[in-house]
């Protein structure tokens, strides 16, 4: 089957022009002007509309156990929400729940493969390090994984010590793997949290107040220093303070192979949101910061300092004592009410995988924070390049997978939980007006979302084996 998207405004990471996109089977076969279809080609009039590549979200968590519950989106519901929001490729994380990395990856596939609603890849968490793990890390390449994540926080659970991180960096370099780092100061967090609890501070804002920005800034500096000593590239996830990104900028200006990711929540929300009556909705790690940090990160995005905008999607119900309807069935999962009297027991995480593209276009591109080309680069092309999927993903060119979005211009909606499709009971962007919206979503040439209607299916997504990572 052939589909011709005709006379749309095509936007890539480097250009924008009026043209056509021809889809044959699962691939894009031609991009150009005045393409002439065969008699059996389905023609879609895209005049007056935008055409962009499907989004690539490099950072999300599905079906993740935490704080006595589990994140409320699995690989069907979360990836379906991604599709409605214009994202057609998503990376999840494999937890290191045992001594064998392969068994962890196999267990993750058992959960993900039969459910996935769009294409997906994964990163491997390394949260315990010893000689056996060191010997197994190189084997990840044979499993289609080219990236590992380490933590400088969550003492006694996820954190590696500096020397262990240094060893992981060296192993990764030798085996063409990329190390991703969650940069906070675990020791300071533990001390401040213990003091806050003993002083009777239990409100959500204390989640942020016990995770100071200075700890993140310091750990970004240390991370880059460790990477330099290991002579290895490094990717810093969910950068949340202007100070962190300033360090990233200086390191890149010196030619260091370091890359940075931020998320929409760090552009638009602050610690003041945690002080609201429903402040638990905004609890994630790292936490929201200040308005000055929002503005600073926005400025750095416009300057091209950061490479990727992901989501760190990890949703929980705000009130898990009341069920919601999902696809006609009641769903009830314990959520953030578990910490209603103690901020340390609130599950850390937010919905976002379905919000990212709409929010960043309408409140990034339309507000002239970033250009249309930067939008495509940071939400699609760059993550595909960095994690070894380009040019299969993240671009509109002949031979690429036909992951394509058709946008309606000036077709406003009032956004919120009903539109977003996440399997949870709230949305951070409730009531925000989205002026430009997504009309059609193609996954490998198949129309899976059309004018708000779901045409896709459980299990249609393919696991993506990643080739060598690329430093950009």
Q: pLDDT tens digits for 122-146?
A: 999 999 999 999 999 999 999 999 9
Compute the average pLDDT of residues 3-7: 98
- CA nearest 119: which of 385, 361, 357, 445? 445
pLDDT of 37 strictly over 90: no
Distances (CA, A) of 344 to 127, 192, 306: 21, 12, 31
Compute the average pLDDT of residues 289-311: 98
The whole-number pLDDT of residue 446 equals 98
The whole-number pLDDT of residue 271 equals 98
How many Å apart are CA 54 and CA 401, to the nearest integer?
Answer: 10
Nearby residues of 201 by Cβ (< 8 Å), 6 or more positions away: 209, 343
Compute the average pLDDT of residues 443-453: 98
Distances (CA, A) of 175 to 46, 137, 141, 178, 467: 44, 9, 8, 9, 12
Look up tokens 């493969």; give the residue: 113
pLDDT of 1 strictly over 90: no
Burial letters 50-60, b for 16+ CB under 10 A, else e: bbbbbbbbbbb
pLDDT of 229 strictly over 90: yes
Q: Which domains, ranges and CATH numbers included, belong to the chain?
A: 2-53+395-409+433-454 (2.30.40.10), 55-386 (3.20.20.140)
Cβ-contact 21, 4 below 8 angstroms: yes
How many Å apart are CA 287 and CA 309, to the nearest integer?
Answer: 16
Structure tokens at 314: 């990890």
User: Which letter does DSSP use for residue 338 in this model?
Assistant: G
pLDDT of 99 strictly over 90: no
Q: What is the pTM of this model?
A: 0.98
């Amino acid at each position: 089957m052939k589909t011709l998207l005709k006379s749309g405004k095509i936007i890539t990471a480097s250009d924008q022009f009026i043209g056509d996109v021809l889809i044959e089977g699962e691939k894009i076969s031609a991009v150009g002007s005045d393409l002439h279809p065969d008699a059996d080609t389905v023609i879609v009039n895209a005049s007056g509309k935008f055409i962009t590549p499907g989004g690539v979200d490099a950072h999300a968590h599905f079906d993740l156990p935490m704080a006595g519950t589990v994140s409320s989106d699995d690989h069907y519901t979360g990836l379906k929400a991604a599709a409605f929001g214009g994202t057609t490729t998503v990376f999840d994380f494999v937890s290191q729940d045992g001594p064998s990395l392969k068994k962890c990856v196999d267990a993750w596939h058992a959960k993900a493969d039969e459910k996935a609603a769009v294409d997906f890849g994964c990163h491997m968490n390394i949260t315990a390090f010893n000689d056996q793990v060191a010997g197994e890390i190189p084997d990840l390449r044979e499993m289609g994984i080219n990236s590992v994540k380490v933590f400088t926080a969550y003492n006694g659970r996820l954190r590696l010590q500096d020397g262990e991180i240094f060893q992981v960096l060296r192993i990764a370099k030798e085996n063409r793997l990329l190390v991703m780092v969650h940069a906070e100061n675990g020791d300071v967090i533990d001390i401040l949290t213990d003091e806050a609890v003993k002083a009777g501070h239990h409100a959500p804002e204390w989640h942020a107040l016990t995770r100071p920005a200075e700890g993140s800034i310091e750990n970004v500096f240390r991370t880059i220093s460790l990477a330099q000593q290991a002579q290895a590239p490094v990717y810093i996830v969910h950068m949340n303070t202007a100070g962190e990104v300033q360090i990233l900028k200086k390191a890149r200006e010196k030619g260091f192979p370091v890359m940075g990711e931020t998320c929409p929540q760090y552009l638009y929300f602050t610690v003041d949101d945690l002080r609201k009556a429903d402040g638990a909705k905004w609890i994630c790690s790292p936490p929201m910061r200040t308005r000055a940090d929002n503005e600073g990160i926005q400025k750095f995005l416009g300057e091209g300092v950061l490479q990727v905008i992901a989501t760190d999607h990890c949703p929980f119900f705000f009130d898990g004592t009341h069920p919601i309807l999902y696809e006609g069935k009641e769903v009830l999962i314990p959520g953030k009410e578990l910490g209603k009297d103690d901020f340390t027991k609130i599950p850390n995480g937010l919905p976002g995988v379905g919000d990212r593209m709409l929010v960043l276009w309408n409140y990034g591109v339309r507000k002239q924070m970033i250009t249309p080309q930067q939008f495509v680069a940071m939400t699609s092309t760059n993550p595909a390049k960095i994690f070894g999927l380009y040019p299969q993903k993240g671009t509109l060119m002949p031979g690429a997978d036909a992951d394509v979005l058709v946008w309606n211009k000036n077709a406003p909606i009032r956004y919120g939980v009903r539109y977003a499709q996440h399997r949870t009971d709230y949305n951070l962007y409730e009531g925000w007006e989205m002026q430009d919206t997504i009309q059609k979503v193609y996954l490998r040439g198949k129309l899976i979302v059309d004018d708000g209607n779901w045409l896709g299916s459980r299990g249609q997504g393919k696991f993506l084996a990643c080739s060598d990572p690329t430093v950009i």
